[in-house]
Amino acid sequence: MVYPTSLCACLSLLTVLSCHSHVLPRLSFPIGSPGRSLTGFTNPDVYNTTTLLLSDNEDTLFVGARDAILSIDVSQTDAMTMKEKLDWSPSEKDLVDCAMKGKMKMDCHNFVRVLQVLNSTHMYACGTFAFSPRCIYIDSKTFSMVTGTSGKPEEGRGRCPYDPYQKNTAITVDGELYTGTVADYRGTRPVISRHLSEGSHVDLKLDDTLGWLEDPTFISSSYVPSEEKVYFFFSEIGKEYDFIDKFTVSRVAQVCTSDVGGQRTLQKRWTTFAKAQLLCQADLELPYNILLDIVSLPPPEGESEDETLFYGIFTSQWQVNLGRSAVCAFSLKDIKKVFTGRYKVLNRDTLKWSTRVQEQMANPGECGLHNASDNTLRFVKDNFLADKSVQPVNQGLTLVSLDKSYSNIAAQRVRGAHRRDYTVLYLLTESGYLQKTVLLENGAHIIEEIQVFHQPQPVKNLLLSVSKGAVLIGSSEGVISVPVSNCSYYWSCAECVLARDPFCGWDPVTKHCTNINTHDHLVQDVDEGNVSAQCTYVNPRSRSGQSRTPTSEVVSVSLNEVVHLQCPEASQLAKRHWERLNSQLSPRIYIQSDDRSLRFVATPSTLGHYLCQAVENGYTQTLVVYHVKQKSSPTILPATPNRPHSIPTTEAGSKPSVFTTRLITPKQTELRPKPEDMDPTVTLKDSPTTTTRKSRNFTRFSNIDKENSQTEPGENLKQADKPTYFQELVVVSVLLALCISALLTIAFHRFRYFCHGRTVPQTPSTRRDGEKGGSATPQERESLKGHSPCLEKRNGQTPNGQSRNGQAHNGKSPITLSNSMLNSSNGHLPNTPI
């Protein structure tokens, strides 16, 4: 039964979860985009290049792959060249033994999972080696395999996992190897151990019988020199929570590098092991309890090592957070505070955890306990779980992704133009995108995302080379190098400032966006991205009082044609809208799609100029200007009110198509404008003078119909809209002539009709003309004989039946009257007054 309070609580949780703002990357670069260069290394004979290690000078990258270890030259940021390859494959007997154990053939290779610098002359590597882990030494100078004192590869149990799909962690400190992995074939014996110890130090491990670890998944390890401690990060089952289902928690554990184990109790076992929960949770929300990756970020120069931060990627086992990723930061100071606090106690009989109320005999996790008494060691053996959890920095989440699942993380501290430090995170998504994010006081800002893989790849390592300025990504198919900065992509001061990239600043002297390390006088505003405050000097009106207009894209269309105008995207954070000179875009006429394209039917009232503008952080820029005009036509279109420019006509004889569709998009002849073609002007929202700049994502249209165009691309809009009336004058003159001709024609026809009525014969006799004994008057006879002047004028014939040119018409009169016309009831001709 669910109580109303519980239901309300659940609804409240769902409401809070839905209130997370969706942080969008400002720019997105698909794979292969010329705007973002990548460097990759692939080899058809090399697979699973997932374990990465940089040399001290960061000129060489060592890669642990399948059946091989590689040495790659990365001294050049735009090239990765393999220098040497060290083959390390299992023998045929090893492969047969692995297959006999029931393992797949592909899993029986040697997957190098540990690759560490041991000292100035040697490296240390461990591999799964057909489900029988082995370890070797590598001479750093000759890059050759060196065996131990026995002359054979060392046993790798407890140093490297058996299964290539199991996660592990390893780190070397003063020539000793600290690992977190499983120590058996089945993977049921997790262990945190130390190896390669010499002198008074002995190899140590956890006591398997104490339940110090509960089915852990090891993620990472870090060494803090001031504390002389190694911290391990992992996820495991939280036995302290008495739930029906198993509840996964994220942990941080610590051991002291000076630990040598107890004299009688905890011999060759850790006496300084302690663990605590990492709580990545916001107020009134379910926690993100599964740790996926974590990285340490050293403090700024001159500050205490307590300011060291650990940035981790977390996900949740709860259905309500399914598909989401959260980033939380934890400080070393808070971790130390939790480890010096109270601890829970485990009842060995009931296997229940409880908070100890009696006075504690020692501080678990404190270094130097190996010399303590047996009673003290027994106390720390049962009290290794801290009572409180490590809370995230600022008691909240650093970043939440609602639609991207993060898998790996790297962090870097960058000093900006104003001597202020910024934290930059590199987050790799499971879909194959690398997001570069800067952390600000008002939240995270994703500067850009770069697609590095066509398809999702299993990534084991994400390594940052600070000196080379590159992020190295090891995947199953190769190694990808991504430059951390891309300043040359921003070609104007406004673009450089809006990027809010701490690596980049605008140089007002050279008019270029350049790396911040090369100059001290650069313009930058990472916190606000305020263009009006940083780029005021580029306003041309402040210098000459003249503003430049953007190039006009001329589009020739026919009437009743559906026009589709595309608007390029300046950034994913900009809001685009359409404007029209001296007119409003009515939704009854214009359709604006989700991609901000504009559709309308070409009519006399919809011809003209259309501007697509983008507004980002208070800065307005014009992306493209279209001049939609009609092709030349003999049909005269009435002038549209409130439209300053004339309406061009279409070609003679052409008929406009009915509702044909035409898509107008900017041409992609080149991706980026050349520096000499750049327009440094900007448009400020609050500025009384509005100037615009060229778009960086497209090049301008060429004239679509140069023969019929009246305004060339680049011509001033005012000159393009100047009215001319020569065509109207010619048309009006032609219309006047046509009207006068029509009036004359009508008058001529009326005169003919009048004459026709006057020439009708009027006689009461039924006899035809020429018959003897007729009673017609002399005047009537004269009319019947055809001597009427109107008849002569009307037919152009003489009274004798001759035409004016003297030719006869068969001897007949042009007018023949029937008997019915000559007879009437009153003896008179029709239509003749009595």
DSSP letters of 499-533? HT-TTEEEETTTTEEEEGGG-SS-B--TTT--HHH
pLDDT at 576: 93
Whether residue 445 is predicted with pLDDT greater than 80 in this model: the reply is yes
Q: What is the pLDDT averaged over residues 33-49?
A: 92
pLDDT tens for residues 280-291?
A: 998 888 899 999
- Here the CATH number for the domain that contains residue 531 is 3.30.1680.10
Q: In terms of Cα–Cα distance, which of 245, 314, 231 is closest to 276?
A: 231
Pair (663, 569) in one structural domain: yes
Task: Please give the angle made by the CA atoms of 704, 708 and 711, to the nearest 5 degrees.
Answer: 75
Please report whether residue 422 resides in a domain: no
Pair (555, 667) in one structural domain: yes
Burial category of 319 from C-beta neighbours within 10 Å (exposed 0-12, middle 13-18, buried 19 and up):
exposed
Q: In angstroms, rounded to a whole number, what is the distance separating the alpha carbons of residues 126 and 135?
A: 4
pLDDT at 765: 41
pLDDT at 358: 61
The region of weakest confidence among 46-50, 74-78, 371-375, 749-753 is 749-753
The region of weakest confidence among 264-273, 430-439, 625-634 is 625-634
Please report whether residue 34 resides in a domain: no
Q: Tokens 């008495």 belong to which residue?
A: 242
Whether residue 102 is predicted with pLDDT greater than 70 in this model: the reply is yes
DSSP 466: T
225 φψ region: left (φ > 0), alpha (ψ -120 to 50), beta (else): alpha
Pair (644, 552) in one structural domain: yes
Please report whether residue 76 resides in a domain: no
* Mean of the per-residue pLDDT values of the chain: 79
Pair (534, 576) in one structural domain: no
Per-residue confidence band for 82, with pLDDT thresholds at 50, 70 and 90? very high
DSSP 3-state assignment of 275?
Answer: strand
Per-residue confidence band for 600, with pLDDT thresholds at 50, 70 and 90? very high
Per-residue confidence band for 756, with pLDDT thresholds at 50, 70 and 90? low
Q: What are phi and psi of 381, to 5 degrees?
A: -65, -30
Give the burial string for 230-256 (b: 16+ CB within 10 Å, else e). Answer: bbbbbbbebbbeeeeeeebbbbbbbbb
pLDDT tens for residues 652-687?
A: 333 444 455 566 766 543 334 444 444 433 333 333
Per-residue confidence band for 766, with pLDDT thresholds at 50, 70 and 90? very low
Please report whether residue 365 resides in a domain: no
Pair (533, 593) in one structural domain: no
pLDDT at 347: 79
pLDDT at 551: 59
Pair (528, 625) in one structural domain: no
C-alpha 770 chain-centroid distance = 105
Whether residue 557 is predicted with pLDDT greater than 90 in this model: the reply is yes
**Tally of CB atoms within 10 A around 543:** 9
Contact predicate 797/787, CB 8 Å: no
pLDDT at 704: 35
Contacts within 8 Å (CB) and 24+ apart, 307-311: 307/331, 307/332, 307/333, 308/224, 308/332, 309/393, 309/411, 309/423, 310/222, 310/233, 310/252, 310/335, 311/398, 311/409, 311/411, 311/425
pLDDT tens for residues 149-203?
A: 666 788 999 999 999 999 999 999 999 999 999 999 988 899 999 999 988 889 9
Q: In terms of Cα–Cα distance, which of 553, 735, 707, 722 is closest to 634?
A: 735
Q: In angstroms, rounded to a whole number, what is the distance separating the alpha carbons of residues 59 and 71?
A: 10
Task: Please give the angle made by the CA atoms of 329, 333 and 336, to the nearest 5 degrees.
Answer: 110
pLDDT at 716: 37
The partner residues of 314 in beta bridges, in order of sequence, read 291, 326
Please report whether residue 655 resides in a domain: yes
* Strand arrangement of the beta sheet that strand 51-54 belongs to: 51-54, 60-64, 68-73, 81-87
DSSP 3-state assignment of 86?
Answer: strand
Pair (590, 679) in one structural domain: yes
Instruction: Compute the half-sphere exposure of residue 357: CA atoms within 13 Å on the CB side of its CA.
Output: 1
Residues 6+ positions from 668 with CB-CB distance below 8 Å? 698, 699
Contact predicate 571/539, CB 8 Å: no
The partner residues of 663 in beta bridges, in order of sequence, read 564
Per-residue confidence band for 525, with pLDDT thresholds at 50, 70 and 90? very high
Residues 6+ positions from 806 with CB-CB distance below 8 Å? none
Q: In terms of Cα–Cα distance, which of 781, 762, 773 is closest to 828?
A: 762
Whether residue 59 is predicted with pLDDT greater than 90 in this model: the reply is yes
Please report whether residue 546 resides in a domain: yes
Query: Considering 470, 504, 538, which residue would you say is the last residue of a domain?
Result: 538
Residue 533 lies in domain: 485-538
Token digits for 181?
């992995």
Per the structure, the count of domains in the chain is 3
CA-only gyration radius of the chain, Å: 46
DSSP 731: H
Helix (H) or strand (E) holding 822: helix 819-822
Q: In angstroms, rounded to a whole number, what is the distance separating the alpha carbons of residues 789 and 793?
A: 6
Q: Count the helices and strands in the chain (H runs, E runs).
A: 11, 42
Q: What is the pLDDT averaged over residues 56-82?
A: 94
pLDDT at 582: 77
Task: Please give the angle made by the CA atoms of 210, 215 and 221, to the nearest 5 degrees.
Answer: 90
Whether residue 438 is predicted with pLDDT greater than 90 in this model: the reply is yes
Pair (633, 492) in one structural domain: no
Q: In angstroms, rounded to a whole number, what is the distance separating the alpha carbons of residues 57 and 206?
A: 36
Q: Between 331 and 725, name the one with better pLDDT.
A: 331
Please report whether residue 707 resides in a domain: yes
- Here the CATH number for the domain that contains residue 719 is 2.60.40.10
Per-residue confidence band for 337, with pLDDT thresholds at 50, 70 and 90? very high
Q: In angstroms, rounded to a whole number, what is the distance separating the alpha carbons of residues 156 and 129?
A: 9
The region of weakest confidence among 68-82, 100-114, 260-274, 542-556 is 542-556
Token digits for 782?
């004269």
Pair (720, 786) in one structural domain: no
Q: In terms of Cα–Cα distance, which of 601, 661, 607 is closest to 633?
A: 607
Contact predicate 496/506, CB 8 Å: yes
Q: In terms of Cα–Cα distance, which of 485, 510, 494 is closest to 623?
A: 494
Instruction: Compute the half-sphere exposure of residue 646: CA atoms within 13 Å on the CB side of its CA.
Output: 17
Pair (578, 646) in one structural domain: yes
Residues 6+ positions from 301 with CB-CB distance below 8 Å? none
Contact predicate 727/649, CB 8 Å: yes
pLDDT at 755: 65
Token digits for 142?
């000759």
Q: Strand pairing of 575-580 and 608-616?
A: antiparallel
pLDDT at 362: 81
Please report whether residue 325 resides in a domain: no
pLDDT at 584: 81
Q: Tokens 């210098």 belong to which residue?
A: 543
- % pLDDT > 70, the chain: 73
Residues 6+ positions from 747 with CB-CB distance below 8 Å? none
DSSP 3-state assignment of 663?
Answer: strand
Pair (653, 638) in one structural domain: yes
Burial category of 609 from C-beta neighbours within 10 Å (exposed 0-12, middle 13-18, buried 19 and up):
buried
Q: In angstroms, rounded to a whole number, what is the distance separating the alpha carbons of residues 271 and 257?
A: 11
Q: What are phi and psi of 672, to 5 degrees?
A: -120, 145
DSSP 3-state assignment of 754?
Answer: helix
Q: What is the pLDDT averaged over residues 495-505?
A: 95
pLDDT tens for residues 215-235?
A: 999 999 999 999 999 999 999
Token digits for 379?
């106390």
The region of weakest confidence among 394-408, 547-561, 636-650 is 636-650
Contact predicate 180/218, CB 8 Å: yes
Q: Give alpha helix (H) positions in 19-144.
A: 92-100
Q: What is the pLDDT averaged over residues 776-783?
A: 46
766 φψ region: left (φ > 0), alpha (ψ -120 to 50), beta (else): alpha
Contact predicate 453/408, CB 8 Å: no
18-22, 190-194, 513-517: which has the highest mean pLDDT?
Answer: 190-194
Contact predicate 713/512, CB 8 Å: no
The amino acid occupying position 54 is L
Per-residue confidence band for 456, with pLDDT thresholds at 50, 70 and 90? confident
pLDDT tens for residues 814-833?
A: 333 344 333 334 444 344 34
Q: What are phi and psi of 335, to 5 degrees?
A: -65, -45
Whether residue 646 is predicted with pLDDT greater than 80 in this model: the reply is no
Q: Give alpha helix (H) positions in 672-788.
A: 717-720, 726-758, 778-784
Q: Strand pairing of 27-29 and 443-451?
A: parallel
Q: In terms of Cα–Cα distance, which of 424, 478, 430, 468 is closest to 451?
A: 430
pLDDT at 555: 92
pLDDT at 20: 58
pLDDT tens for residues 236-295?
A: 999 888 776 789 999 999 999 999 999 888 999 999 999 999 999 988 888 999 999 999
The partner residues of 73 in beta bridges, in order of sequence, read 60, 81
Pair (545, 688) in one structural domain: yes
Q: In angstroms, rounded to a whole number, what is the distance separating the alpha carbons of residues 469 and 182?
A: 35
